């Protein structure tokens, strides 16, 4: 008996299966057995807990994948197996917080008598276990100042992106959990677009600029999201300029990760019936990738997620092309130092450097030159970059380093308003001139590159020349500075060794509305 009790206390999945009951979408209560998404989520959280002794996580997901059910079980397990541990459940609307709290109460009601703590105070907003000195409190967005007067050890914030006064609530709620061992904060939501609090939190987690890890759960991990194939079912095929991947491309990319034809049949029917053909809205609520979840609401982005996804899933292309490196030095305190290596049709490395002095950065780039022997290193000379460039010239690398002014004149002034627009235009051509390859060696950096490139809007000036959305406007929209993206486009500043960036003679722009800025 003691071994069983120990396992119930220390093994959440065992505890859930043996002691918790859930109500499925159809039918009566059944034992809680983890599905694929819940098991993956559990593994990621446990990995972080073992590494840092606490949990700080943001879950980006599709609709109804069981993430809230898992988090409720995780925190119930912690609350009834530890002393003096309080849990706060917070949701975007009262019906959602009530549903989560009801789930917790059901866990408690159906628990084994030998492992269920005595219940004290119980009402619509609180659930207390007096002998453990532990308990629950429930809150709903819209109640200002909520949570400021209490300290919790567990925080579950559900559907963050849809919470009213989200930025204001975050200032109080996130401070209710101290930054100490054995505390857990889990935020989960579907996307509501770019620029809001949830999106900013996800992007900071993705870039490694916060203590939070971003956990993405793809929609097709749910077996119920399948539809029987019709006799004449055929996958849609790629077409030039499409804003999303074709069904065939999705299948080729994700079939090894669990995507089936039946999933795609369900997806097609869902888009046609429930979403009335609005594929972008479907992508936001049922995304294949992190970037798709957020890019879906930004139809004015210049570079499309489909272009990046294809490149990320294309093998390395053998080439004799010279190596070029783009360097985007930090301009301001929060900006990052980023480098991108490109060799012909391949992006071979994306890296981020810690903050450092100009002399240290110049030395770091010199080491990069010695180790990788690039033909050219293109450096953004806005801000600190000019000092770095000058130092590298003094170090006798003047034939390799090239100063690039984003606001300077483009070589092709008829098509591009400035050098930045020209580099983005050449990068677009390179991506569209399939095949091309973006390395997945560092998936986080590849994710960040995709997110940033797919966030930048564009318009045309009075001369019909391309003009990219300024960094200042991006920041006004709540988006980070595209430092990784800029280091990538810098590799297209000038042709190197007589090698053109792409074989395309014309510049096709996907049919979409340009962002106004």
The predicted structure's pLDDT at residue 60: 96
Residue 443 — very low, low, confident or very high, per pLDDT cuts 50/70/90? confident
CATH assignment at residue 154: 3.40.50.300
What average pLDDT does the structure give for the chain?
A: 88
User: Can you tell me whether residue 445 is helix, strand or coil?
Assistant: helix
Shared domain for 234 and 368, answered yes or no, is no
* CA-wise closest residue to 346 among 224, 501, 480, 460: 501
Mean local confidence (pLDDT), 410-418: 95
Shared domain for 213 and 230, answered yes or no, is no
- Residue 14: strand pairing partners: none
CA angle (279 as vertex; 276, 280 as ends), nearest 5 = 120
pLDDT higher for 211 or 94?
211
Shared domain for 280 and 366, answered yes or no, is no
Shared domain for 65 and 155, answered yes or no, is yes
Strands 376-380, 401-404: pairing is parallel
Using omega within 30 degrees of 0 as the cis cutoff, is the peptide bond preceding 435 cis? yes
The predicted structure's pLDDT at residue 74: 97
Domain membership flag for residue 204? yes
For the four alpha carbons of 421, 424, 428 and 430, in that order, the dihedral sign comes to positive
- Residue 61: strand pairing partners: 217
For 392, half-sphere exposure in the C-beta direction (CA atoms, 13 angstrom radius) is: 31
Query: Final residue of a domain: which of 269, 297, 325?
Result: 297
Shared domain for 333 and 441, answered yes or no, is yes
Shared domain for 202 and 238, answered yes or no, is no
Task: Give the C-alpha separation, 35 to 256, whole Å.
Answer: 18
Domain membership flag for residue 82? yes
The predicted structure's pLDDT at residue 299: 60
Q: Which residues contact 381 (CB under 8 A, 6 or more apart)?
A: 389, 403, 404, 405
Shared domain for 74 and 45, answered yes or no, is yes
51-67 b/e with 16+ CB inside 10 Å = b? eeebbbbbbbbbeebbb
What tens digit of pLDDT does each residue of 229-261 get? 999 999 999 876 666 789 998 999 899 999 999
- Burial classification of residue 266, based on how many CB atoms lie within 10 Å of its CB (0-12 exposed, 13-18 middle, 19 or more buried): buried
Domain membership flag for residue 509? no
The predicted structure's pLDDT at residue 206: 83
Shared domain for 98 and 168, answered yes or no, is yes
pLDDT at 431 over 70: yes
The predicted structure's pLDDT at residue 243: 62
Within 10 A of 303 (CB to CB), how many other CB atoms are there?
A: 24
Domain membership flag for residue 196? yes
Task: Give the C-alpha separation, 331 to 333, whole Å.
Answer: 7
Task: Give the C-alpha separation, 111 to 130, whole Å.
Answer: 17
User: Can you tell me whether residue 88 is helix, strand or coil?
Assistant: strand
Domain membership flag for residue 510? no
Q: Residue 117 belongs to what domain range?
A: 2-217
Task: Give the C-alpha separation, 374 to 376, whole Å.
Answer: 5
Angle between helices 36-52 and 67-81 (to 10 degrees): 50
Shared domain for 204 and 232, answered yes or no, is no
Domain membership flag for residue 355? yes
What is the pTM assigned to this prediction? 0.75
User: Can you tell me whether residue 449 is helix, strand or coil?
Assistant: helix
CA angle (420 as vertex; 517, 359 as ends), nearest 5 = 120
Query: Final residue of a domain: which of 168, 195, 217?
Result: 217
Query: Final residue of a domain: which of 217, 245, 263?
Result: 217
The string of DSSP letters for 229-288 reads PPTT-------TT-SS--HHHHHHHHGGGT--HHHHHHHHHHHHHTSTT-HHHHHHHS-S
The predicted structure's pLDDT at residue 48: 97
What is the tally of structural domains in the chain? Answer: 3
Domain membership flag for residue 306? no
Shared domain for 414 and 376, answered yes or no, is yes
Shared domain for 386 and 485, answered yes or no, is yes
Domain membership flag for residue 443? yes
Residue whose structure tokens are 């079912």: 233
pLDDT at 104 over 90: yes
CATH assignment at residue 442: 3.30.420.240
Strands 458-460, 466-468: pairing is antiparallel
What tens digit of pLDDT does each residue of 121-159 get? 888 788 999 999 999 998 886 655 555 557 999 999 999
Shared domain for 51 and 173, answered yes or no, is yes
- Burial classification of residue 221, based on how many CB atoms lie within 10 Å of its CB (0-12 exposed, 13-18 middle, 19 or more buried): buried
Distance between alpha carbon 507 and the CA centroid of its chain, in Å?
A: 29
- Residue 55: strand pairing partners: 184
């Amino acid at each position: 008996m003691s071994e069983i009790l120990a396992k119930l206390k220390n093994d959440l999945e065992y505890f859930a299966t043996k002691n918790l009951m859930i109500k499925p979408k159809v039918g009566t209560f059944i034992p809680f057995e983890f599905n694929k998404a819940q098991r993956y989520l559990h593994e990621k959280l446990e990995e972080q807990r073992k590494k840092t002794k606490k949990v700080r996580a943001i879950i980006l997901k599709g609709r109804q994948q069981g993430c809230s059910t898992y988090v409720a079980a995780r925190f119930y397990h912690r609350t009834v197996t530890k002393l003096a541990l309080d849990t706060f459940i917070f949701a975007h609307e009262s019906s959602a917080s009530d549903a989560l709290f009801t789930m917790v109460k059901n866990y408690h009601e159906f628990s084994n008598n030998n492992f269920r703590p005595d219940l004290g105070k119980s009402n619509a907003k609180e659930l207390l276990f007096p002998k453990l000195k532990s308990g629950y409190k429930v809150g709903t967005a819209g109640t200002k100042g909520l949570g400021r007067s209490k300290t919790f050890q567990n925080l579950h914030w559900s559907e963050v992106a849809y919470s009213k006064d989200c930025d204001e609530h975050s200032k109080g709620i996130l401070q209710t959990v101290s930054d100490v061992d054995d505390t857990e904060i889990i935020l989960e939501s579907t996307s509501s677009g770019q620029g809001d609090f949830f999106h900013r939190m996800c992007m900071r987690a993705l870039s490694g600029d916060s203590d939070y890890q971003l956990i993405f759960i793809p929609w097709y991990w749910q077996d119920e999201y399948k539809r029987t194939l019709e006799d004449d079912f055929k996958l849609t095929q790629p077409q030039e300029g499409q804003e999303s991947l074709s069904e065939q491309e999705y299948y080729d990319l994700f079939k090894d990760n669990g995507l089936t034809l039946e999933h795609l049949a369900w997806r097609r029917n869902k888009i046609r019936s429930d979403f009335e053909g609005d594929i972008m809205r479907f992508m936001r609520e049922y995304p294949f990738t992190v970037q798709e979840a957020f890019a879906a609401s930004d139809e004015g982005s210049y570079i499309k997620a489909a272009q990046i996804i294809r490149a990320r899933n294309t093998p390395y292309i053998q080439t004799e092309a010279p190596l070029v490196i783009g360097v985007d030095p930090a301009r301001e305190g929060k900006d990052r130092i980023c480098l991108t290596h490109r060799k012909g049709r391949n992006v071979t490395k994306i890296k981020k450097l810690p903050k450092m002095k100009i002399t240290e950065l110049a030395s770091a780039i010199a080491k990069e030159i010695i180790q990788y022997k690039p033909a050219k290193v293109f450096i953004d000379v806005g801000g600190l970059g000019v000092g770095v460039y000058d130092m590298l010239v003094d170090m006798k690398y003047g034939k390799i380093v090239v100063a690039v002014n984003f606001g300077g004149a483009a070589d092709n002034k008829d098509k591009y308003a400035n050098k930045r627009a020209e580099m983005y235009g050449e990068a677009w051509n390179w991506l569209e001139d399939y095949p091309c390859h973006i390395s997945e060696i560092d998936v986080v950096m590849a994710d960040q590159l995709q997110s940033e490139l797919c966030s930048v809007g564009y318009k045309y000036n009075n001369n019909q020349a391309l003009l990219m959305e300024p960094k200042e406007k991006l920041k006004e929209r709540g988006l980070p500075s595209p430092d990784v993206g800029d280091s990538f486009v810098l590799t297209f500043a000038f042709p190197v060794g007589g090698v053109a960036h792409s074989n395309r003679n014309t510049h096709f722009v996907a049919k979409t509305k340009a962002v106004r800025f």
